[in-house]
Amino acid sequence: MLRALTFLVLMFGLALTGGQAMAERIGVASVVKNEVSGSAAGNNRIIKVGAGVFQNEIITTGAASSAQLLFRDETSLTIGASARVTLDRFVYNPSSKAGDVVINVAQGAFRFVSGSARPGSYRIKTPVASIGLRGTIVEGYISPDGSLLLVIVEGSVVVTSADGTTVTLTAGQYITISSAGVITGPSPWTGRTLDIGSGQDFILDTDNPLGEQRDQLNDALDSRNVEITYPDSPRDDGYKGGGTIGDDQ
């Protein structure tokens, strides 16, 4: 009876809040440094550690800020300062490993580690190109003018520019695409990789644009993650009306 009543109260609350509360919860913020916010369905919130993140949500970070998001298929996305990312699409079937995950990175530094969905299930959109990933760890930087620097740490990717040009990159290579669509590379990357236990730490040259936000990405990876379990216990995700989604425990 108590569980049934709790379920009814939860559903009533979701109906009242609408918008974000009815959106699909696709992961959790495992690390938050300084100012990180989310926006969806006309609602804005401050994101804290342990808060859920939702399909179609726009995540932004302030200066000297960073965040790591963990998704239901074990994908992780780490973003640095002054970043703007939209969680466009997340579809995942844990039984068949079928998935369709699309992330739109408009600005800032990022590290993307693909999860347990089948290779080819992941795509990153940027202002100048679309990146198809296959069992991959990549790092990138989108400058304020929209140009892209992309480094392949592990696996392979196919980059498709706005004019339809495709370039395949493998581990240890990088590419740049200017805001005008000019492609340079792929070329060998001159950095090195280190195993830091919680994930791969890609050390970048300090004279490279991505190096400016290297420490923030590494700080996020070094911080303690929170485990995603579904269904989650109810918690306040910071939206009007609470936006709690989950089962009572």
Residue 8 lies in a domain: no
Which of 128-132, 233-237, 245-249 is predicted with the least confidence, judged by mean pLDDT? 245-249
- List, for residues 106-128, the tens digit of each pLDDT value: 999 899 998 888 878 899 999 99
- List, for residues 165-187, the tens digit of each pLDDT value: 999 999 989 899 999 999 999 98
Counting the structural domains of the chain, the total is: 1
Q: What's the CATH code of the domain at 107?
A: 2.60.120.1440
Residue 241 lies in a domain: no
List all residues 6 or more positions away from 4 whose beta carbon is below 8 Å from its beta carbon.
none
Residue 236 lies in a domain: no
Q: Residue 89's pLDDT is what?
A: 86
Residue 229 lies in a domain: no
Is the separation of the CB atoms in 244 and 231 below 8 Å? no
What does the chain come to in residues?
A: 249
- List, for residues 205-219, the tens digit of each pLDDT value: 444 445 555 555 665
Residue 92 lies in a domain: yes
Residue 243 lies in a domain: no
Residue 12 lies in a domain: no
102 lies in which domain range? 23-222
Residue 96 lies in a domain: yes
